């Protein structure tokens, strides 16, 4: 592992941890996604709050978002994505060694969604748990899967990002309510040939930035404060600056570790938080937008589901082929961030 550079957030310097994959390599063998049928447009939101399609489109790139009907569980979305991922990888639930679910919007404190999915899928051989790293959860899940496969402690790992964030929105707060959407994405991670699959990682957290994106009582936390309905709040412009900067630094780190130049990235799949964040970072990385997966216009920000939703769409549209260098990169509340460089198998 290398702590190559020190990265300065608003709260101070933090090390950037990056490392090459060691041991047995792993890669993504299949993917599945699911989004609720109901689509809410910017024009629909104009009727609910003081906003406009023009503002939302120009400031975020979002035109619609999928929103779950009341009573829909995160479990339902996650299970549908999980089944599709197993089909796509050509394995059964019985083959699974681990189920990891990244979510910031579980249906309750416990049991975990991962254990509920284990039951739904009937995957008796899997160890299952949820991971909370907000919008970075899916990348942390992939990194965990890669580590277990590298050390030969697992062969088939199901990694899921699933959210019903609409439960946590206050439709009188136009600063956040227009941004988020619901959805789920899943990937089956399996051993890959030497030199393929995940080549390198950059993972990090800076807890001193915990106030920048929160849900529920900022100091006590929602449970301790007996908050009946925790609501997402964020310091948008600060997060925006952090996001552009960390996207660029992570791209640099994982490319260095993998020994490839940033120009050799065939597809960048960023967390879909804001089109302007992606565009600003892509320009500074030197990547034309035709090498960036962007579907924020349809889904909005779906937190842990955004990277798998964008990656699966890119695969489905034939934008990813064997041997391509694919960069996945996320950031989110915590603060947290994570990226990986994959040679597609």
| Residues near ligand UT7 (CB under 6 A) | 51, 55-56, 59-60, 135, 174-175, 178, 213, 234, 236-237, 239-240, 243, 273-274, 301, 332
Residue number with CB closer to ligand UT7 (29 or 278): 278
Other CB atoms closer than 10 Å to residue 42's CB: what's the count? 20
- Does residue 25 have an active-site annotation? no
Q: Which is nearer to ligand UT7, 169 or 239 (CB)?
A: 239
CB of 273 to ligand UT7, least distance (A): 3
**Known catalytic residue at 135:** yes
Helix, strand, coil in percent for the chain, rounding step 5 = 40, 30, 35
Give whichever of 10 and 59 is closer to ligand UT7, judged by the CB atom. Answer: 59
Classify each residue of 90-112 as buried b or exposed e, where b means 16 or more C-beta atoms within 10 Å of its C-beta. Answer: ebebebbbbbbbbbbbbbeeeeb
Exactly one of 252, 256, 301, 325 is catalytic; name it.
301
The token pair that represents 215 in the structure block: 């849900």
Shortest distance, position 52 Cβ to ligand UT7, whole Å: 6
Residue 302, Ramachandran bin (φ over 0: left; ψ between -120 and 50: alpha; else beta):
alpha
Q: Collapsing DSSP states into helix, strand and coil, what is residue 301?
A: strand
Question: Closest separation between CB of residue 250 and ligand UT7, Å?
Answer: 15
Q: What is the number of the residue whose Cβ is closest to ligand UT7?
A: 236
| Closer residue to ligand UT7 (CB): 77 or 135 | 135
Q: Judge residue 27's burial from the number of C-beta atoms within 10 Å of its C-beta, 0-12 exposed, 13-18 middle, 19 or more buried.
A: buried
Residue that has been written with the tokens 């310091």 in this structure: 235
Provide the minimum distance between the beta carbon of 207 and ligand UT7 in the complex, in angstroms, as a whole number.
Answer: 16
Q: Which is nearer to ligand UT7, 2 or 211 (CB)?
A: 211
Of these residues, 271, 274, 295, 325, which one is catalytic?
Answer: 271
Close Cβ partners of 217 (under 8 Å, ≥ 6 residues apart):
224, 225, 227, 230
Closest by CA position to 97, among listed 62, 123, 133: 123
Give alpha helix (H) positions in the chain: 42-46, 53-60, 74-89, 113-121, 137-150, 174-177, 236-258, 275-285, 296-299, 306-316
- Marked catalytic residue, from 25, 66, 135, 156: 135
Q: Shortest distance, CB of residue 218 to ligand UT7, whole angstroms? A: 16
Comparison of 29 and 178: residue with beta carbon closer to ligand UT7: 178
- What is residue 128's three-state secondary structure? strand
CB of 308 to ligand UT7, least distance (A): 15
Residues known to be catalytic: 135, 271, 301
């Amino acid at each position: 592992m290398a702590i190559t550079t020190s990265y300065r957030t608003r709260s101070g310097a933090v090390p950037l941890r990056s490392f090459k994959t060691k041991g047995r390599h792993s890669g993504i063998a299949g993917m599945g996604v699911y989004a609720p049928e109901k689509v809410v447009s910017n024009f629909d939101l104009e009727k609910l709050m003081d906003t406009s399609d023009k503002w939302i489109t120009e400031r975020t790139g979002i035109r619609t978002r999928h929103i779950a009907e009341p009573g829909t569980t995160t479990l339902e979305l996650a299970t549908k994505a999980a089944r599709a991922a197993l089909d796509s990888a050509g394995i059964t639930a019985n083959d699974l060694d681990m189920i990891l679910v990244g979510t910031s919007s579980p249906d309750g404190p416990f049991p975990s969604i991962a254990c509920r999915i284990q039951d739904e899928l009937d995957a008796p051989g899997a160890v299952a748990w949820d991971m909370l790293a907000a919008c970075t959860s899916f990348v942390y899940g992939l990194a965990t899967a890669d580590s277990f496969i590298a050390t030969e402690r697992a062969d088939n790992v199901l990694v899921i990002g699933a959210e019903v964030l609409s439960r946590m929105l206050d439709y009188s707060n136009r600063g956040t309510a227009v941004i988020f959407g619901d959805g789920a994405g899943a990937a089956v991670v399996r051993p890959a040939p030497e030199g393929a699959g995940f080549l390198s990682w950059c993972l990090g957290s800076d807890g001193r930035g915990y106030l920048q994106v929160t849900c529920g009582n900022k100091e006590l936390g929602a449970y301790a404060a007996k908050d009946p309905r925790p609501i997402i709040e964020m310091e948008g412009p600060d997060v925006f600056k952090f996001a552009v900067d960390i996207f660029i630094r992570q791209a640099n780190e994982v490319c260095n570790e993998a020994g490839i130049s940033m120009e050799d990235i065939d597809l960048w799949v960023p967390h879909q938080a804001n089109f302007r964040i992606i565009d600003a970072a892509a320009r500074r990385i030197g990547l034309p937008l035709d090498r960036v997966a962007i579907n924020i216009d349809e889904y909005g920000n779906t937190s842990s589901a955004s990277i798998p939703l964008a990656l699966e769409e890119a695969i489905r549209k034939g934008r990813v082929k064997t041997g391509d260098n694919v960069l996945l990169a996320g950031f989110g509340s915590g603060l947290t961030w994570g990226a990986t460089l994959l040679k597609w198998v």
